[in-house]
Structure 1
Amino acid sequence: MEKALTASHWGTYYLSIEDGQIKSVEPHREDPDPSPIGQSFLDGIQHPCRVKKPAVRKSYLEQGPGVATHKRGAEPFVEIEWDQAFELVGNELNRVRQQYGNQSIFAGSYGWASAGRFHHAPSQIHRFMNCIGGYTKSVNTYSYAASEVILPHVVGSMSWLLNQHTSWPVLEKHCELMVMFGGVALKNGQINAGGVGRHSAKDGLLACKRAGTKFVNFSPVRDDVDQGLEAVHYEPKPNTDVSIMLALAHTLYEQGLHDKAFLEQYCVGFEKFEPYLTGKVDGQPKDAKWAANISGVDATVISSLAVEMARKRTMVTASWSLQRADHGEQTHWMLVVLAAMLGQIGLPGGGFGLGYAGVNGVGHQFRDFTWASLDQGVNKVADFIPVARISDLLLKPGQSFQYNGQSYTYPDTKVVYWAGGNPFHHHQDLNRLLKAWQQPDSIIVHEQTWNALSRHADIVLPATMTAERNDIVCAKRDDYVYALKQAVVPVGEARNDYDIFGGIADVMGKKDEFTEDRNEKEWLQFLHARNRQRAAAQGIEIPEFDVFWEQGEYLLPEGPDLILLEAFRRSPEASPLRTMSGKLEIFSERVASFELASCPGHPTWLEPKEWLGAELVQKFPLHLISNQPATRLHSQFDHGQTSQRAKVSGREALTISPQDAHDRALSVGDVVKVYNDRGATLAGLIISDKVQPGVVQLPTGAWYDPVEPGIIGSLDKAGNPNVLTRDVGSSELGQGPVAHSTLVEIEKYTSEIPEVTIYTPPEIIRGPETIKAP
């Protein structure tokens, strides 16, 4: 039986291959905490839901672009040959470019795609689009968009901060107290952008525990923290973390425990923040009693914790999920201010963290160079949207929007081209997205499976999965470089994105520019040579390509321990921050100058529209937490066995507290309807005290599966929470998603329970043969 190494965002595995089929999956020998998601390689690649041949929506093929767009998601597909598909796509792109301009092509293609440096779908599509004159792009991420915009005004860019986080060995030696808002969820630490050789987050946390670190967690979900940490757990109402942080800061200030010298030397604006903190500007001190009334956390807990934080070497950290909410910019900003008042920023074991274990690499050693990837070229189109404003783009052409203090205009989109992501997973309020999705003339996608994205497209081009191609896998915050060799033959007629775009580029007269006359192997050799040069500049020697490809992997030498903002603390003059003042900005003159009520010039408690303190609880009394899944990466491999085995009654599992289940006469395993004014979905019920009363948990990533395909407002059968979440910006500054500011109600579903059918193909017409939908 042949063995092949494959690598992914959730880990590295050995695949045993027999007769072209994957028979077993074993984790990499050096991985102490492998992710079970890898077992989905067993059935996920050869699954019946794979797209096997280019396919076109029937009305679109017969009558052309813009026809019967309301039937997207409901119509049969007709399979065609690759040459015809290339002509169809190339001609449509040329039509739109010539009649409307390249800004009418939206090709943001947000998504994790694959882990390889070459076959990374967003890089491929952006390179291709730039070869034909550019495209409207998206900026920021669904993961932490609000923070990506606010933090450069406060302390520095999010990507820079994540790469410089204080490393686990330093925390083990020096951190006495870790105060966590939103926990440190190891299910999130399964993944790492670019690949994972060794899952280190759990080892890092448990090493801190063994060394004596005390853990305190504020979260409505208990399993946001590994049980082995024995964390002291408090259950605030969701979206109230800023009030608790403010109260901690107020106690520090009132008891004279704040570090005045640090605030004076390293920060600007505390004198403008202090009147708000103490209540001089509004008559309301932001004290522990005030925060207790908002959050539900006892005032004595808050005040005594503040004293303990001041007396110990303390790391305060917040998950990324907290800023995916109304006014999400305030959460991480206030966390930085709280850490500044403690005065331990830049010291070993102290300061702040922004998502330890948000991915595996946060807290892991980092090397200060960038691995080579496919050059994307220059985008000649200036238009863009914040990543979570896709529905607004399609529904509001020509209208203006605010972003980071500036005003911009949505272009008129005629083509949406997507490769390497799934907006029917990432985006909020899927019924609104469905309406928006009917506006463009053409939706073109590269997809591996018949998920909701491919079913709602006009042209579907089948793409290979990771184990079906060759690549190089390496990540900034990981220790390994892998030669990823094709393990199995592609399913059906699936092709890699490079070959697909090469075929379209040939039709459009751009093949030489796109390919530079290199095949897959020559590109891998080219990228590897660049990697060797960049590594050598850091004193790291990587084998030549043939040796590397033969041995299959390379372990990098151990990197240095890191302390976030250590150089800045040592000398703020020699190592200024990338802010307007060069210092930590507790009050930002620039943000204040934007005059945004949704994001003032300093951290502020701003009440969400939907939370357990809103009047809407009279109608929808439960706060929905739609966090990341433990059994897949976003929606990737939802059809695979690891995800499927975790389903309850055939659909995504929703967790509810015993009290809330009792009040609704619900039992374990019930199929329940989860609903609000935006939509409804069906889920299988779990009852557990891991969630507090008033809160329900429904992970993201279940493939959207409406009872009536193509019909706006149809009941989703599979448990996708984004039929319920709100599609508005976190503020006019960041415009991030607000999925975690959502209220719902739940009831037992008493009608005939519909079968989940999203994991089988839609109706497909194959010449004289028609494959009927289930």
Structure 2
Amino acid sequence: MTAKSTTHSSHWGAFTAVVQDDKLVITPFAGDPDPSPILKNFENALNHKVRIATPMVRRGWLENGPGPDERRGSDEYIAISWEEAYALAAGELSRVARAHGPAAVFGGSYGWSSAGRFHHAQSQVHRFLNTTLGGYVRSVNSYSSGAASVILPHIVGDMNEIARRGVSWEEISEHTELLLSFGGLALKNSQVASGGLSEHTERGFIHKAAQRGTKFISVSPLQSDMPDEADAEWLPIRPGTDAALILGLLSVLKANALTDEDFLARYCVGWDKLVAYLQGKEDGLVRDASWAAEICGIDAERIEKLAVELAGKRVMVSVAHALQRAEHGEQPVWLGLVLSAALGQPGLPGGGYGYALGALGHYGKHHNRVSFPALPQGKNGVKDFIPVARIADMLLNPGQEFRYNGQTLRYPEIKLAWWAGGNPFHHHQSLARLRQAFNQLDTLIVHEIAWTATARHADIVLPATMTLEREDVGGAPTDRHLIAMQPVARPFGEAKDDYSIFAELAKRLGREEAFTEGRTARQWLEHLYQQMQEKCEQQHISVPDFSTFWEIGQIPLPQLKDGGRLLRNLRLDPDKHPLPTPSGKIEIFSQTIADFNDADCPGHPVWLEPTQKPDDEHPLFLIANQPATKLHSQLDYGHHSVSLKRDGREVCLMHPQDARVRGIQVGDTVAISNVRGTALASVDISEGIRPGVVQLPTGAWYDPVDPQAARPTCRHGNPNVLTLDVGTSSLAQGCCGQITTVNVARYQGTAPAVKAFEPPVILTR
């Protein structure tokens, strides 16, 4: 251990750290106005009993060899040496590549892992597979924005220009008169950003805007989705019905001549087709305020009043990630842009459309003039890919056709999956189905710091260092500080960083030079920093050399105020600055999408009924949203995360009337169940949730009573035991993990103790 105070960074904040009397002391970055409490999760993370100390091999795989195996998730493990681990992993990769080719290898690694730009697990594993095998089957898009990342390029041309380079918080605080947020602006979400976040400024900008007179309206089943500083009006919508509400608003605006027809004619295509749909000219169904009210549960009078209130003001329309993580999730994303366009707002200061504003700390920020470069990943010679949320479909249905973004593709047959820096048993839905899918593999190799559910399903487990145990550089394109991530402690047990593991494996496979290019990890950091330094010099930006940067711990980087430029330039001159869409304009109707001829995502936005609706057996909606106590499932065993559980379980939220009719009180343990399984959780009761809705955050490590059960019970409270594993539509195939339907009942008897943070049975030889 070191007694020296070191600088470091995480996805939820920069900090300094020092080990004093065997205790880790974390101090947030001095320039952060609103540090995240998630930093407290580091305090007990280094030496927790759930850490993995040595390479492990699953007993069944070692004894019986590679192949499908139902014992994954419940088997014993055998501790082995690194030499044995390298031999087993390299040998199995070679076997699969010889017998089946690189198209039988899936490079997983979906997950955030470390904020460090070099020890970025996805980059490391992809570089390794590219340089040793010549490629691998990859995934595209993300669980967070799978639907949006496909629909937005069709209708506005570029997702990043709308999300990461959208209208800034600074501009909103100075110009916006009304901010209408579908899905809210929860600060628990914006406290994290991939690559690091040295300054949490959202709360301050929201407070400034509200003090200036900006009105905030939050459309969400949860009142907490908008911070108190906004002093917002809350419209408690029925989950998953935002598309219907927006169609109702558009109908009122059109009927009352409140739409900006000049903007729609000059900068958009297809408004006439959507108007015909609103007026029911094809099917006789008029989509007005009364129609919308029946679906979304907000009074028709309030819908009409809201539409009138929007007209004539500087309006910002935001749509959260959450809305598109549901069946037909493309529709509210599309309609949010249409509503903004109908009001004539895109391209105006503080006005327009913000996809995912508040969903990440990146969004609404300014961009650095120069960013820290990424580790090159090499060339992937395998063409096969899947949308990231379709991994269970791929493993269960090799060779089956599926639709994606207008293409008909086939799932490849995967024999080996290599995972580093991620936990699919957090991200994915219908966890019993996911377990069944992983059991089809010949081999699953996982790098992990601790015994997550993914590690417990692996055949070969390689213990990885956590961020505090290695050196790196933390930085994000929207964070104006570059952080030297200096090691805080020695590696736990025999843990090694991903680069060291892959370098040794590449050596055994005869590809060491291709993977390492002759550099150590420190030399890669110096090399990447030098590339950034050269770009800075080209722009006459002065930055110190690497050794000076490493000594002082952080440097500031200059930024550009270029948020909202895509739509601002369109508004300046649509001929000189057309959008990268087929028409060069905002596509309210997309001929490209129409020509795909997929009924679940037609050529203009529509309301499509979800398959999941409350019924007698499952009368409540479940909202499975992001946790406030951790990033995804990372460090779930950390002090802050554990301190806000109850009896070791996650806490769900219910409305008083739903709790009362079920005889449920605060602190009770409840069984939340449906046809896919059961999650046990403790209960809080509040009027800050819409009646008929229960909320249970994601992130609790999957802890099944019986791992092999067809309908498992997670005693820890992981809602993805319950969520449905289907694509948002044939267009995007995004995940539908935000909403499902359930029954909730008070647990009878003594609830089983949580064992999520207990290691599996480990044998020695």
When the two structures are superposed, what TM-score results if normalisation uses the length of structure 2?
Answer: 0.98
Whether 1:110 and 2:93 are equivalent positions in the alignment is no
Letter in 1 for 2:584: G
Q: Residue 746 of structure 1 aligns with which residue?
A: 744
**Alpha-carbon distance in structure 2 between the residues aligned to 1:413 and 1:23:** 42
Whether 1:62 and 2:63 are equivalent positions in the alignment is yes
**Alpha-carbon distance in structure 1 between the residues aligned to 2:217 and 2:533:** 43
Whether 1:13 and 2:15 are equivalent positions in the alignment is yes
Does the Cα contact within 8 Å between 2:315 and 2:345 map onto a contact in 1?
Answer: yes
Q: Residue 335 of structure 2 aligns with which residue?
A: 334
Deviations 1:554-610 (A, max 9, x none): 012343253352111111121111111111000000000011110000010001111
Letter in 1 for 2:654: I
Does the Cα contact within 8 Å between 2:372 and 2:529 map onto a contact in 1?
Answer: no
**Alpha-carbon distance in structure 1 between the residues aligned to 2:66 and 2:334:** 46
**Alpha-carbon distance in structure 1 between the residues aligned to 2:564 and 2:414:** 45
Q: Residue 88 of structure 2 aligns with which residue?
A: 88
Q: CA deviation at 1:94?
A: 0.6
Q: Residue 437 of structure 2 aligns with which residue?
A: 436
Q: CA deviation at 1:416?
A: 1.1
The answer to which of 443-452 and 368-377 deviates more is 368-377
SS of 1:71 mapped into structure 2: coil
Give the 3 Å change call, closer, same or farther, for CA 646–581 of structure 1 in structure 2: same
Does the Cα contact within 8 Å between 1:4 and 1:17 map onto a contact in 2?
Answer: no
**Alpha-carbon distance in structure 1 between the residues aligned to 2:443 and 2:710:** 19
Whether 1:759 and 2:757 are equivalent positions in the alignment is yes
**Alpha-carbon distance in structure 2 between the residues aligned to 1:113 and 1:246:** 39
Runs of 4 or more off by more than 4 Å in structure 1? none
Does the Cα contact within 8 Å between 1:679 and 1:713 map onto a contact in 2?
Answer: yes
Q: Residue 699 of structure 1 aligns with which residue?
A: 697
Letter in 2 for 1:38: L
**Alpha-carbon distance in structure 1 between the residues aligned to 2:551 and 2:570:** 44
**Alpha-carbon distance in structure 2 between the residues aligned to 1:124 and 1:538:** 30
Q: Residue 584 of structure 2 aligns with which residue?
A: 582
Does the Cα contact within 8 Å between 1:2 and 1:18 map onto a contact in 2?
Answer: no
**Alpha-carbon distance in structure 2 between the residues aligned to 1:726 and 1:416:** 23
Does the Cα contact within 8 Å between 2:370 and 2:557 map onto a contact in 1?
Answer: no
Letter in 2 for 1:749: Y
Q: Residue 4 of structure 1 aligns with which residue?
A: 6
Q: CA deviation at 1:540?
A: 2.9
Deviations 1:107-135 (A, max 9, x none): 13211111111000000000000012210
**Alpha-carbon distance in structure 1 between the residues aligned to 2:102 and 2:633:** 30
Deviations 1:673-703 (A, max 9, x none): 1100011111111111121110000000100
Letter in 1 for 2:486: K
**Alpha-carbon distance in structure 1 between the residues aligned to 2:700 and 2:291:** 39
**Alpha-carbon distance in structure 1 between the residues aligned to 2:24 and 2:378:** 41
Does the Cα contact within 8 Å between 1:443 and 1:457 map onto a contact in 2?
Answer: yes
Alignment counterpart, residue 620 of structure 1, candidates 613, 618, 621: 618
**Alpha-carbon distance in structure 1 between the residues aligned to 2:103 and 2:402:** 16
Whether 1:569 and 2:586 are equivalent positions in the alignment is no
SS of 2:560 mapped into structure 1: coil
The answer to which of 58-67 and 291-300 deviates more is 58-67
Report 1:202-241 matches (<5 A). Answer: 202-241=203-242
**Alpha-carbon distance in structure 2 between the residues aligned to 1:119 and 1:217:** 38
**Alpha-carbon distance in structure 2 between the residues aligned to 1:44 and 1:546:** 29
**Alpha-carbon distance in structure 2 between the residues aligned to 1:508 and 1:451:** 29
Q: CA deviation at 1:149?
A: 0.6
Q: Residue 139 of structure 2 aligns with which residue?
A: 138
Letter in 1 for 2:731: L
**Alpha-carbon distance in structure 2 between the residues aligned to 1:23 and 1:14:** 10
SS of 1:145 mapped into structure 2: coil
Report 1:314-393 matches (<5 A). Answer: 314-367=315-368, 369-393=370-394
Q: Residue 446 of structure 2 aligns with which residue?
A: 445
Letter in 2 for 1:693: P
**Alpha-carbon distance in structure 2 between the residues aligned to 1:174 and 1:714:** 51
Structure 2 unaligned segments of length 5 or more: list them. none
Q: Residue 74 of structure 2 aligns with which residue?
A: 74
Alignment counterpart, residue 706 of structure 2, candidates 694, 708, 713: 708
Structure 1 unaligned segments of length 5 or more: list them. 768-774
**Alpha-carbon distance in structure 2 between the residues aligned to 1:471 and 1:636:** 19
Q: Residue 41 of structure 1 aligns with which residue?
A: 42
**Alpha-carbon distance in structure 2 between the residues aligned to 1:558 and 1:162:** 17
**Alpha-carbon distance in structure 1 between the residues aligned to 2:570 and 2:449:** 46
SS of 1:2 mapped into structure 2: coil
Give the 3 Å change call, closer, same or farther, for CA 539–580 of structure 1 in structure 2: farther
Report 1:252-291 matches (<5 A). Answer: 252-291=253-292
Q: Residue 530 of structure 1 aligns with which residue?
A: 531
**Alpha-carbon distance in structure 1 between the residues aligned to 2:8 and 2:403:** 43
**Alpha-carbon distance in structure 2 between the residues aligned to 1:679 and 1:537:** 58
Whether 1:646 and 2:644 are equivalent positions in the alignment is yes
Whether 1:689 and 2:690 are equivalent positions in the alignment is no
Deviations 1:82-103 (A, max 9, x none): 1111110011011101101111
**Alpha-carbon distance in structure 2 between the residues aligned to 1:599 and 1:539:** 48
Deviations 1:145-204 (A, max 9, x none): 001111111002322322211112211111000011111010001100110111111112
**Alpha-carbon distance in structure 1 between the residues aligned to 2:97 and 2:572:** 53
Does the Cα contact within 8 Å between 1:649 and 1:669 map onto a contact in 2?
Answer: no
Does the Cα contact within 8 Å between 1:236 and 1:295 map onto a contact in 2?
Answer: yes
Aligned length: 761
**Alpha-carbon distance in structure 1 between the residues aligned to 2:148 and 2:370:** 23
Give the 3 Å change call, closer, same or farther, for CA 526–628 of structure 1 in structure 2: same
SS of 2:664 mapped into structure 1: coil
SS of 1:44 mapped into structure 2: coil
Give the 3 Å change call, closer, same or farther, for CA 324–5 of structure 1 in structure 2: same
Q: CA deviation at 1:507?
A: 1.2
Does the Cα contact within 8 Å between 2:449 and 2:463 map onto a contact in 1?
Answer: yes
Q: CA deviation at 1:751?
A: 3.4
Does the Cα contact within 8 Å between 1:371 and 1:534 map onto a contact in 2?
Answer: no
SS of 1:501 mapped into structure 2: helix
Letter in 1 for 2:712: S
Q: Residue 771 of structure 1 aligns with which residue?
A: none
Whether 1:99 and 2:99 are equivalent positions in the alignment is yes
The answer to which of 364-373 and 637-646 deviates more is 364-373
SS of 2:163 mapped into structure 1: helix
**Alpha-carbon distance in structure 1 between the residues aligned to 2:483 and 2:500:** 22
Deviations 1:271-304 (A, max 9, x none): 2211001221221221111111111101111111
Does the Cα contact within 8 Å between 2:105 and 2:136 map onto a contact in 1?
Answer: yes
Q: Residue 188 of structure 1 aligns with which residue?
A: 189
Does the Cα contact within 8 Å between 1:670 and 1:684 map onto a contact in 2?
Answer: yes
SS of 1:23 mapped into structure 2: strand
Letter in 2 for 1:464: T
**Alpha-carbon distance in structure 1 between the residues aligned to 2:627 and 2:539:** 37
Letter in 2 for 1:359: L
**Alpha-carbon distance in structure 1 between the residues aligned to 2:230 and 2:481:** 28
Give the 3 Å change call, closer, same or farther, for CA 219–262 of structure 1 in structure 2: same
Letter in 2 for 1:664: R
Does the Cα contact within 8 Å between 2:369 and 2:557 map onto a contact in 1?
Answer: no
Deviations 1:431-476 (A, max 9, x none): 1111111101001000000110101110100001111000011101
SS of 2:670 mapped into structure 1: strand
**Alpha-carbon distance in structure 1 between the residues aligned to 2:36 and 2:484:** 20
Q: CA deviation at 1:370?
A: 4.4
Q: Percent identity?
A: 47
Whether 1:312 and 2:327 are equivalent positions in the alignment is no
When the two structures are superposed, what TM-score results if normalisation uses the length of structure 1?
Answer: 0.97
Whether 1:605 and 2:603 are equivalent positions in the alignment is no
**Alpha-carbon distance in structure 2 between the residues aligned to 1:119 and 1:8:** 12
SS of 2:742 mapped into structure 1: strand
Does the Cα contact within 8 Å between 2:15 and 2:28 map onto a contact in 1?
Answer: yes
